[in-house]
């Protein structure tokens, strides 16, 4: 399969601070590739190097088989970019902004602004200004703007940050539609559900390092345990009860006096054993939560940190 | 690039508020100075040159001073008074002869221009009345010798009007570009431009082009208002004036780009722009000649970019000199363009 992006041993320093510290990955043509990590992990810096906004201190980066240092202009005319917080001219309407942006590209790649607005469902707002749009609409517009040159590769920096759940789903559908039309998509996010829902493969970044790159399923499977159990009991467990639970293939951690976090290994079969054991030991529980492991758990396992601060 | 320039102009046209106020300030000054010039309806501004030292002359001056019709100031020499008359800074020069007394052995001399014959008549009448009141005995005698001069070639208002063209273009260029670029940077619009294949020089060139067009429109409005409404007379080749206006405008746009790089917010950029522009308005002789300023001020004035711009505009616009005669001012402006361009390119920040 073709490679849309190849990053090898990329390093980027700001003074002594390594924003991106020796990372390598590649993005296949046609996939949705996610870079997942907390704020300050180096996601945006990585994207901005791909976009030609910064030059790498070390390593090599090719986009659409072109070296970013040697062919910035050709890359720019073949990729679409949505910046994390880009605004647009206050005094122009949507159609005018798109027409203006289109004029920056070679004539043979320019898309029809009206058609682009239809694609993101903003056709009826084409005469409005950006500041009259809702958060979700604004974000759809910035995605529309990034499609103005019929790009082969679309780079989106946190496309849903700050949006309400409905708008987020809306954007996900839009991104999926764009991808199905044959455009490779690279996006950053700090929402693990977004990465899971959209991305074929995910790169996990933390503190400028790349920790893992794989499909969401493989990343989850890489954990020792497959289920996370949260048990809340009426009275604290006795020694005997704990020993009994420990006989299952599980790690038990006491979270507070009467809550326990259990990492349950051994797949679905051990769920059955857990329930039987709770009944057999006569544990009086108030609440029992069993969730399959998520990318959140993967991130925690790999970095020792939470991906997001608790809500 | 033409697209971008047109869009820039569209943005300015729609950003009516700031564009209007940017144009409004110099226009307001044009109106103020224009009214000030023709504003002494029913009164006369008189410069008195007293060649006598006797009590009678002092008494007489006190008498006209106390009359509301006259705005009297005493001037030491007839030369100064006539220069002021010629510059439009006063309307009448009254000379009192050394032998002035109540016997009226000498004759008073009143000099004025033919700019406003009606007012001249009234003034003469008022002056005669005063003399008659002071000494009825001599009322039959014609005591005043009048000298009517040609309307001066250039008035103070003409001089100020060209100063206001410079002022308007300077403040507008510096502040509007500084605020605009600062805004673009804060909103990541500059960054958004950088991820397109648009060569960045085209972005700047179109910003400058749009502002130059605005500067031309501004100059036309200011001069038009001054000429049509307040009768200013501006000579010289319009193309030469335009050339100087464009050169000056480029210098000030560059300064605006530099201001935007040195500040972090649009309001700071605006403040810094004002801090640069306001002193320049005074030290470059927009309203009054800088040669009379004390200490090293005249030297300071010479190194400011507004000074050669105004000097060239006035030589061409007031005296009708050809453009090559102001080559020194043009060279100074060209040097300013080179220096400010280099600094602007060096300090400019995209984010």
Rounded Cα–Cα distance for residues B300 and A308 (Å): 59
Query: Would you call B17 an interface residue with chain A, using a CB distance cutoff of 8 Å?
Result: no
Query: Would you call B195 an interface residue with chain A, using a CB distance cutoff of 8 Å?
Result: yes
Min Cα–Cα distance to chain A from B179, Å: 14
Q: Tens digit of pLDDT for each residue in B292-327?
A: 667 777 777 878 899 999 989 988 988 888 888 889
Rounded Cα–Cα distance for residues B268 and B271 (Å): 5
Q: Decide which of B83 and B261 is more confident.
A: B261
Query: Would you call B140 an interface residue with chain A, using a CB distance cutoff of 8 Å?
Result: no
Check whether A310 has a pLDDT greater than 50.
no
**What pLDDT, on the 0 to 100 scale, is given for residue B289?**
66
Check whether A300 has a pLDDT greater than 70.
yes
**What pLDDT, on the 0 to 100 scale, is given for residue B290?**
65
Count CB pairs under 8 A between chains A and B.
60
Check whether A24 has a pLDDT greater than 50.
yes
Residues of B in contact with A105 (CB under 8 A): 196-197
Q: Estimate to the nearest angstrom the gap between the alpha carbon of B177 and the chain centroid.
A: 23
Check whether B138 has a pLDDT greater than 60.
no
Confidence band (pLDDT; 50, 70, 90) for A311? Answer: very low
Kindly give the pairing relationship between strand B44-50 and strand B92-96.
parallel
Rounded Cα–Cα distance for residues B341 and B186 (Å): 23
Instruction: Give the containing element (helix H, strand E) for B85.
Output: helix B78-86
CB contact under 8 A, A103 and B189: no
- Mean pLDDT of the region B97-119: 74
**What pLDDT, on the 0 to 100 scale, is given for residue A65?**
93
Q: Tens digit of pLDDT for each residue in A237-296?
A: 777 777 777 777 778 888 888 888 888 887 777 888 888 888 887 788 888 888 888 888
Stretch among A163-172, B42-51, B323-332 having the lowest mean pLDDT: B42-51
Min Cα–Cα distance to chain B from A73, Å: 5
CB contact under 8 A, A76 and B195: yes
Domains of chain A: 3-220 (3.40.50.300), 227-292 (3.30.70.1150)
Query: Would you call B9 an interface residue with chain A, using a CB distance cutoff of 8 Å?
Result: no
CB contact under 8 A, B193 and A104: yes
Q: What is the mean pLDDT of chain B?
A: 82
DSSP assignment string, A279-307: HHTT--EEEEEEEE--HHHHHHHHHSS-S
Mutate to test the interface with B, among A44, A91, A138 (most CBs of B within 10 A): A91
Nearest-CA residue of chain A relative to B2?
A103
CB contact under 8 A, A77 and B192: no
**What pLDDT, on the 0 to 100 scale, is given for residue B57?**
81
For tokens 């648009």, the residue is B198
Q: Are B75 and B48 in contact (CB under 8 A)?
A: yes
What topology is assigned to B40-149 in CATH?
abc type-2 transporter like fold (3.40.1710)
Check whether A307 has a pLDDT greater than 70.
no
Domain range summary for chain B, segments of one domain joined by +: 2-35+155-347, 40-149
Q: What's chain B's length in residues?
A: 351
Rounded Cα–Cα distance for residues A71 and A62 (Å): 9
Q: Using DSSP, how many helices (H) and how many strands (E) does chain A show?
A: 11, 14
Q: Among partner residues B7, B191, B194, which is closest to A96 by beta-carbon distance?
A: B7
ipTM confidence: 0.82
Q: Estimate to the nearest angstrom the gap between the alpha carbon of B216 and the chain centroid.
A: 17
Q: Tens digit of pLDDT for each residue in A28-60?
A: 999 999 999 888 889 999 999 999 889 999 999
Q: Among partner residues A74, A86, A92, which is closest to B11 by beta-carbon distance?
A: A92
Query: Would you call B201 an interface residue with chain A, using a CB distance cutoff of 8 Å?
Result: no
């Amino acid at each position: 399969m073709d490679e849309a992006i190849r990053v090898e041993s990329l390093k980027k320093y700001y003074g002594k601070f390594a924003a991106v510290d020796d990372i390598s990955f590649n993005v296949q043509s046609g996939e949705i590739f996610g870079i997942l990590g907390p704020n300050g992990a180096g996601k945006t810096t990585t994207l901005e190097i791909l976009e030609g906004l910064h030059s790498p201190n070390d390593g090599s980066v090719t986009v659409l088989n072109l070296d970013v240092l040697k062919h910035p202009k050709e890359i720019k005319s073949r990729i679409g970019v949505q910046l994390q917080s880009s605004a647009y001219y206050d005094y122009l309407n949507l159609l005018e902004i798109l027409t203006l942006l289109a004029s920056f590209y070679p004539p043979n790649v320019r898309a029809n602004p009206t058609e682009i607005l239809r694609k993101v469902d903003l056709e009826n707002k084409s005469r409005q200004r950006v500041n009259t749009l809702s958060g979700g609409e604004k974000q759809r517009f910035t995605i529309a703007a990034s499609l103005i040159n019929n790009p082969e590769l679309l780079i989106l920096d946190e496309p849903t940050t700050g949006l309400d759940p409905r708008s987020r789903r809306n954007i996900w559908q839009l991104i999926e539609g764009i991808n199905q039309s044959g455009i490779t998509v690279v996006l950053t996010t700090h929402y693990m559900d977004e990465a899971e829902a959209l991305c074929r493969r995910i790169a996990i970044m933390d503190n400028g390092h790349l920790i893992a790159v794989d499909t969401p399923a493989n990343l989850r499977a890489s954990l020792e345990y497959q289920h996370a159990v949260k048990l809340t009991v009426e009275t604290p467990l006795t020694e005997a009860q704990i020993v009994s639970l420990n006989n299952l293939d599980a790690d038990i951690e006491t979270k507070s006096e009467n809550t326990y976090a259990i990492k349950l290994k051994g797949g679905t079969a051990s769920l059955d054993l857990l329930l039987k054991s709770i009944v057999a030991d006569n544990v009086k529980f108030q609440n029992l939560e069993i969730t399959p492991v998520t990318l959140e758990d993967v991130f925690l396992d790999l970095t020792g940190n939470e991906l997001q601060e608790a809500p | 690039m033409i697209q971008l320039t047109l869009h820039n102009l569209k943005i300015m046209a729609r950003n009516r508020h700031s564009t209007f106020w940017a144009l409004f300030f110099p226009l307001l000054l044009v109106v103020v100075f224009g009214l000030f010039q023709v504003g002494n309806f029913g009164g006369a501004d008189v410069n008195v040159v007293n060649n006598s030292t006797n009590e009678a002359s002092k008494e007489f001056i006190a008498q006209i001073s106390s009359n509301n019709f006259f705005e009297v100031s005493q001037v030491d020499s007839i030369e100064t008074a006539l220069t002021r008359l010629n510059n439009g800074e006063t309307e009448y020069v009254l000379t009192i002869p050394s032998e002035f007394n109540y016997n009226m052995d000498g004759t008073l001399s009143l000099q004025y221009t033919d700019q406003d014959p009606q007012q001249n008549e009234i003034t003469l009448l008022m002056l005669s009345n005063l003399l008659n009141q002071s000494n009825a005995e001599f009322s039959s005698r014609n005591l005043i010798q009048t000298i009517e001069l040609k309307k001066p070639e250039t008035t103070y208002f003409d001089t100020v009007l060209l100063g206001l063209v410079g002022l308007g273009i300077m403040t507008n260029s510096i502040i509007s570009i500084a605020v605009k670029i600062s805004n673009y940077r804060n909103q990541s619009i500059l960054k958004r431009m950088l991820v397109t294949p648009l060569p960045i020089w085209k972005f700047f060139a179109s910003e400058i082009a749009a502002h130059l067009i605005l500067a031309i429109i501004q100059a036309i409005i200011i001069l038009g208002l001054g000429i049509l409404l307040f009768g200013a007379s501006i000579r010289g080749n319009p193309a030469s004036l335009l050339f100087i206006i464009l050169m000056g405008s480029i210098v000030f746009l560059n300064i605006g780009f530099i201001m935007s790089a040195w500040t972090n917010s649009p309001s700071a950029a605006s403040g810094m722009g004002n801090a640069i522009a306001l002193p320049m308005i005074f030290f470059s002789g927009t309203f009054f000649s800088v040669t009379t300023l004390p200490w090293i001020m005249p030297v300071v004035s010479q190194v400011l970019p507004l000074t050669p711009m105004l000097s060239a505009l006035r030589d061409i616009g007031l005296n009708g000199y050809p453009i090559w005669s102001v080559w020194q001012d043009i060279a100074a402006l060209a040097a300013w363009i080179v220096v400010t361009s280099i600094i602007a390119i060096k300090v400019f920040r995209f984010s």
